[in-house]
């Protein structure tokens, strides 16, 4: 929460306590047990709810007399008490001083079942009452950790081909008088260079997709054209690996809102993955289906399949089911992560069904565009 709001809330609440205002109703049993409890005006309490997603006021006995829904949802409150000792200590410290007390800490909550990273601020508002405001920084912390992991993974992944190129170049210098060995080294260095180029390209694509806001309303895209383009981009790979790609669309067109290039890259990665993990002589089936308000792109292979305990991880960055096959084919481990983020950017999803030894089916689901909207768009384009 922006620090500018804390003085504003405190000033309003202090004024409300001094002036009295209209009394905030507190349960009778609480009033009987805690005679020292102070009342706040309804308008002050409403301001707290609006400006402090997770805020509360505690009386001199550390009983919560006003709490926002956000504070309850965070799992920091049990009944009318704060759950964590560190927050109670912060409130006690604020009660004994006129200064704002702050705390940045990781707490364990019963509701979340994991760490909750918070930034808390507490200030005395008179007569033993304390205003406590808590900002949930868990998501920000999670994103920071993801960025750190991503950078660590990138460093590791780049180190391998770069190191290989360096070693091969050194070996070439020592093999100038051995044409056969030199030719082999040149071939290997070309292979590592391609691997490095593919990795950098995928990193750029993933960065672009992750930095994009929702693109679902950008332009009307025909998914049939997208899929045909994606298959065409994989034609050299399918020919090289003797894997036939069969395409079936039940309609000549299927429209969605989105970014055509981003969707093409996503489908290209699905088809590429299916080819890589299929055996020679097998086929990959790609289909476009429209059902209700959802358009589906289905990519099915008859390859090695994915074990159940690994299926939840296949969309993670740099995760590979078969490390040896990925090295052999130049896979970067970013393809399915790109697919996942592209789906999310288009308000869609990607689903996986797989059985080891049988194969895998990936389904990209995207919101369809109504035929009426497509016609209106075409008329508008014709006039323009």
**Tokens found for residue 335:** 């393809």
- The predicted pLDDT at position 341 comes to 83
- The predicted pLDDT at position 22 comes to 32
Burial class for 163, CB neighbours closer than 10 Å (0-12, 13-18, 19+): exposed
CATH number at 118 reads 3.30.450.20
User: What's the domain count of the chain?
Assistant: 3
Pick the range with the lowest mean pLDDT from 15-29, 83-97, 186-200, 294-308.
15-29
Among 263, 248, 282, smallest CA distance to 344 is for: 263
Write the DSSP assignment of 64-110 as a string of letters.
EEEE-HHHHHTT-EETTEES-HHHHHHHHHHHT-SS-EEEEEEEE-T
Q: Please tell me whether residues 269 and 377 are part of one structural domain.
A: yes
Pick the range with the lowest mean pLDDT from 256-260, 345-349, 376-380.
376-380
Q: Please tell me whether residues 132 and 149 are part of one structural domain.
A: no
Q: Name 66's Cβ contacts closer than 8 Å, sequence gap at least 6.
A: 24, 40, 45, 48, 56, 57
306 DSSP 8-state letter: -
Among 134, 123, 120, 129, smallest CA distance to 40 is for: 129
Specify the 3-state DSSP secondary structure of 40.
Answer: coil
Q: Please tell me whether residues 184 and 243 are part of one structural domain.
A: no
Q: Please tell me whether residues 231 and 260 are part of one structural domain.
A: yes
**Tokens found for residue 138:** 């868990």
299-320 pLDDT per residue, tens: 999 888 888 877 777 777 666 6
Q: Please tell me whether residues 372 and 265 are part of one structural domain.
A: yes
Whether the per-residue pLDDT at 80 is higher than 70: the answer is yes
Q: Please tell me whether residues 292 and 329 are part of one structural domain.
A: yes
Contact by Cβ (8 Å): 57, 136: no
Q: Please tell me whether residues 90 and 205 are part of one structural domain.
A: no
Q: Please tell me whether residues 47 and 149 are part of one structural domain.
A: no
What burial letters (b/e) apply to 319-343, b meaning 16+ CB within 10 Å? ebbeeeebeebbbbbbbbbbbbbbb
124-133 pLDDT per residue, tens: 888 888 888 8
Q: What percent of the chain has pLDDT over 70?
A: 66
Among 132, 141, 130, 79, smallest CA distance to 107 is for: 141
Average pLDDT, integer, range 264-291: 89
CATH number at 205 reads 1.10.287.130
Q: Please tell me whether residues 161 and 301 are part of one structural domain.
A: no
CATH number at 335 reads 3.30.565.10
- The predicted pLDDT at position 149 comes to 63
Among 363, 225, 217, smallest CA distance to 296 is for: 363
**Cα–Cα dist 153/8, whole Å:** 44
308 DSSP 8-state letter: H
Whether the per-residue pLDDT at 327 is higher than 60: the answer is no
Burial class for 8, CB neighbours closer than 10 Å (0-12, 13-18, 19+): exposed
Q: Please tell me whether residues 265 and 350 are part of one structural domain.
A: yes
Alpha helices in the chain (DSSP H): 5-19, 28-33, 42-51, 69-73, 85-95, 138-173, 179-211, 223-233, 235-240, 260-276, 308-311, 323-329, 335-345, 371-383
Q: Which domain holds residue 318?
A: 215-384
Q: Please tell me whether residues 235 and 143 are part of one structural domain.
A: no
Q: 35 — phi, psi (to 5°)? A: -70, -20
- The predicted pLDDT at position 147 comes to 66
**Which of 90, 121, 136 is a domain's end point?**
136
- The predicted pLDDT at position 26 comes to 36
Among 189, 250, 261, 194, smallest CA distance to 221 is for: 261
First CA to last CA across the chain, in angstroms?
46
Burial class for 60, CB neighbours closer than 10 Å (0-12, 13-18, 19+): middle
**Which of 180, 211, 242 is a domain's end point?**
211
268 or 152: which leads in pLDDT: 268
Whether the per-residue pLDDT at 36 is higher than 60: the answer is no
How many residues can be counted in the chain?
384
Tracing tokens 């299929």 back to the chain, one arrives at 278
Q: Please tell me whether residues 15 and 144 are part of one structural domain.
A: no
Average pLDDT, integer, range 145-153: 64
Among 62, 64, 132, 78, smallest CA distance to 110 is for: 78
**Cα–Cα dist 229/225, whole Å:** 6
- Among left, alpha and beta (phi > 0; psi -120 to 50; other), residue 333 is left
Specify the 3-state DSSP secondary structure of 165.
Answer: helix
Tracing tokens 């804390």 back to the chain, one arrives at 6
**Which of 153, 185, 211 is a domain's end point?**
211
- The predicted pLDDT at position 358 comes to 84
218-268 pLDDT per residue, tens: 688 899 999 999 999 888 888 888 999 999 988 888 888 888 888 998 999
């Amino acid at each position: 929460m922006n620090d500018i709001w804390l003085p504003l809330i405190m000033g309003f609440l202090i004024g409300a306590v001094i002036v009295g205002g209209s009394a905030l109703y507190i349960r009778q049993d609480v009033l009987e047990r805690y005679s020292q409890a102070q009342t706040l005006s309804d308008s002050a309490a409403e301001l707290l709810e609006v400006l402090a997603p997770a805020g509360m006021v505690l009386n001199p006995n550390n009983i919560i007399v006003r709490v926002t829904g956000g504070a309850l949802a965070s799992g920091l409150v049990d009944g009318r008490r704060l759950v964590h000792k560190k927050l109670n200590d912060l409130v006690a410290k604020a009660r004994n001083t006129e200064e704002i007390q702050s705390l940045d800490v990781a707490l364990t909550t019963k509701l979340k079942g994991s760490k909750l990273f918070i930034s808390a601020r507490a200030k005395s508002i008179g007569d033993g009452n304390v205003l406590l405001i808590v900002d949930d920084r868990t998501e920000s912390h999670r994103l920071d950790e993801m960025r750190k992991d991503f950078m660590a993974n990138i460093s590791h992944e780049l180190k391998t081909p770069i190191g290989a190129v360096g070693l091969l170049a050194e070996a070439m210098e020592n093999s100038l008088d051995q044409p056969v060995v030199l030719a082999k080294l040149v071939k290997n260095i070309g292979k590592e260079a391609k691997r490095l180029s593919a990795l950098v390209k995928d990193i750029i694509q993933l960065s672009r997709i992750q930095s994009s806001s929702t693109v679902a309303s950008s332009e009307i895209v025909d998914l049939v054209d997208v899929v045909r383009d994606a298959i065409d981009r994989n034609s050299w790979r399918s020919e090289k690996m003797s894997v036939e790609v069969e395409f079936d669309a039940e309609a000549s067109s299927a429209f969605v809102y989105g970014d055509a290039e981003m969707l093409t890259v996503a489908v290209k990665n699905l088809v590429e993955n299916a080819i890589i993990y299929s055996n020679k002589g097998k086929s990959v089936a790609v289909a476009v289906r429209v059902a209700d308000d959802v358009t589906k792109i289905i990519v099915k292979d008859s390859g090695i399949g994915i074990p159940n305990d690994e299926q939840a991880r296949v969309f993670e960055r740099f995760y590979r089911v078969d490390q040896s096959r990925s090295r052999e084919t130049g896979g970067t481990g970013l393809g399915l992560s790109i697919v996942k983020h592209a789906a999310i950017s288009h308000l869609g999803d990607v689903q996986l069904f797989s059985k080891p030894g049988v194969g895998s089916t990936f389904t990209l689901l995207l919101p369809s565009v109504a035929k009426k909207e497509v016609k209106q768009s075409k008329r508008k384009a014709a006039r323009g």
